[in-house]
A and B are shown apart, each in its own frame.
Chain A
Amino acid sequence: MTVTKGDHGDRPQRAPGPSAAVPASPGTPRGVPGSRPWPYLALLIPPTGIPAVRKHVAARRAARSGDNFTARALAAEATTWSWYSAALAFTLLLAAFAVLFLTANDHAVIDKFFNPGVLRSSAPEILRGFLVNVELFLIAEVLVLPWALFVACLRMLPGPASRPIRALAIGYVDLFRGLPAVVAIYLIAFGFPIAGLPVLGSMTGFELCVLALVLIYGAYVSEVFRAGLQSVHWSQAAAARSLGLSYVQTLRHVIAPQAIRRMIPPLLNDFIGLQKDTALVSFVGLLDAFNESRIVASNEFNLSAVTGVGIAFVLITIPTARLVDRLTARDARRQGSRA
């Protein structure tokens, strides 16, 4: 990060803390900004410091007049305002540094990362590529669910007779959770056609990438399913079995309905991971958004198109992330009300 130098002595940096909450001093230099952003730092001094000081003064006055109750209340308010001012000052400071970073070296950062011209001209290719990503993760998400459920069920089969099947399921999960996603995609999407496998070899690159993503995330999601099913207290299973319900009936009518609610937040988390990992298919030559943006980047010597891809990924993840937050909060409330 290159920053214009030499201005540190102009004005003392304000340390975060109650002392940062002094009123905006009129003595702050208000020179012509020009290309130097330092004077903008004056904006950092939060005006919320004024009530903090006022409350403090009022509290002192009340204490002197012997009204301890009012004094305590005012002092408490003063403390709250002071901390708020400090927090605000700290936040604004970081924001100012972000602005500094973007405008550094004569706006070079903005130009290289957020060039409007490049963003606009590359938008059609990026969006077309992004459709590939969307298609990839939608298809993969739909296929992952039954596959992972199947694996989880295999791993939870009861009895000594199912031991080899359980071992197989454990082996699969261990393998694909440990294997870096990019390696798995590389091996499957390049390896299968080279090896000339009967059906797998003639699949398109897109299909092989879906297969790789399903295999990778099937391992994660099957663990989510298993953890969810096992989180239901064993006494529920005991009650169901004691009524004569079979293992499968118990799973279906008693365990699964209670488990699904708890599985949704971690499941959505894995889906966010899956959405992001669709960008990895660019390494096997699929023309997804990331690949398109890399082509633009090398042609224009400008990364704005890649930034655009980043923004697109973040934007589609945010709704899912908020949904996870809300579901988690709802579950916490429900747990609390039950306890």
Chain B
Amino acid sequence: MTALLALDGVGKRFGSNEVLRSVTLELGEHQVMSLIGPSGCGKSTLLRCINALEPIDTGVIHIGGERVSGPGVDLNRLRREVGIVFQSYNLFPHMTVLDNVTLAPRRVLAWSRAEAEARAEQLLRRIGLWEKAREYPERLSGGQQQRVAIARALAMGPRLLLLDEITSALDPELVGEVLGIVRELAAEGMTMVLATHEMTFARDVSDIVCFLASGTICESGPPDVVLSNPQQERTRAFLHRILQAQRI
């Protein structure tokens, strides 16, 4: 089995600030990978590099065996296959929920309105928000908006879904409804990479956990190993801090 996503020596710098250095990882189809690590360790940048919202400086990225980094790559095609959900939802405020979900299938895949809306109905029913289809995003709670953002990404039928700290901006009581959907997606075999601070969730849902520190993968492996019995000192220190924070 070739990996669906493969990064080889990926590096990225903003000016003199080296955000990613020589990141190498592989993810098979139907697998879920969690990226954990302290703030500013490069989790978000890594996700943004995978779907080319940020160009990478060194290394190569392959998706489905095809090279998708470097000049001359059809980025629009790449992005059709890789969906991303952002921490701050980034729904289009001037469009209804339904239009948010149908925009890309209609404009990019050239589906008819009826086709796109049928697909959107299916997705919105699934996240339990079909009755909000005609509402504007600002009338929805944060958790509802984030669920719509997931539906919007799924509407393009991506092979890979990137989730960038999607519960970090939510009130604690809304986190569950969003993570519930991610859990369902994982159970259905959706390939996902998620940056998260929810350690319990990461342990439950992922096949691989990667601990990132100062732009590089410090430790990776099955969640039981990385989260329960970390080999690296830095991983231990990080998990210790998280545990302490939760006790307060």
Contact = CB atoms under 8 A, between A and B. Distances in A.
Interface of A: 235-236, 238-246, 249, 253-254, 257-258, 338
B247 interface: no
The 8 A-B pairs with the shortest beta carbon distances in the complex, nearest first, are A239-B90, A243-B104, A244-B80, A244-B108, A244-B79, A242-B84, A235-B90, A257-B94
Contacts of A244: 76-77, 79-80, 104, 108, 156
Contact of A241 (B79, B94, B107): B79
B51 interface: yes
Contacts of A239: 86, 90-92
Q: Which of A242, A249, A257 has the most CB of B within 10 A?
A: A242
A249 B92 CA distance: 14
B37 interface: no
Given A238-B90, A242-B83, 7 more contacts: A235-B88, A239-B91, A242-B79, A243-B152, A245-B103, A246-B76, A258-B93
Q: Which of B79, B82, B90, B152 has the most CB of A within 10 A?
A: B90
A246 B82 CA distance: 15
B90 A243 contact: no
A254 B76 CA distance: 16
B68 interface: no
B53 A245 contact: no
B108 A236 contact: no
A34 B86 CA distance: 79
A101 B208 CA distance: 86
30 contacts: A235-B86, A235-B88, A235-B90, A238-B53, A238-B90, A239-B90, A239-B91, A240-B92, A241-B53, A241-B75, A241-B79, A242-B79, A242-B82, A242-B153, A243-B79, A243-B108, A243-B153, A243-B156, A244-B76, A244-B77, A244-B79, A244-B156, A245-B76, A245-B104, A245-B107, A245-B108, A249-B108, A253-B103, A254-B103, A257-B94
Contacts, number: 56
Nearest to B99: A253
Given A244-B76, A253-B107, A236 B88 contact: no
Contacts of A243: 79, 83, 103-104, 108, 152-153, 156
Contact of A242 (B51, B103, B107, B138): B51
Contacts of B75: 241
A241 B54 CA distance: 11
A38 B150 CA distance: 77
A interface majority secondary structure? helix
Interface in B140-157: 152-153, 156
Q: Which of B48, B92, B153 has the most CB of A within 10 A?
A: B92
Contacts of A253: 103, 107
Nearest to A261: B94
B110 to A, nearest CB: 12
Interface string B151-177: 011001000000000000000000000
Q: Which of A244, A253, A257, A338 has the most CB of B within 10 A?
A: A244
A315 B78 CA distance: 57
Contacts of A242: 51, 53, 79, 82-84, 153
A253 B104 CA distance: 10
Nearest to B53: A238
Contacts of B84: 242
A243 B86 CA distance: 12
B232 to A, nearest CB: 32
B39 to A, nearest CB: 18
A258 B108 contact: no
A244 B84 CA distance: 11
Contacts of A235: 86, 88, 90
A236 to B, nearest CB: 6
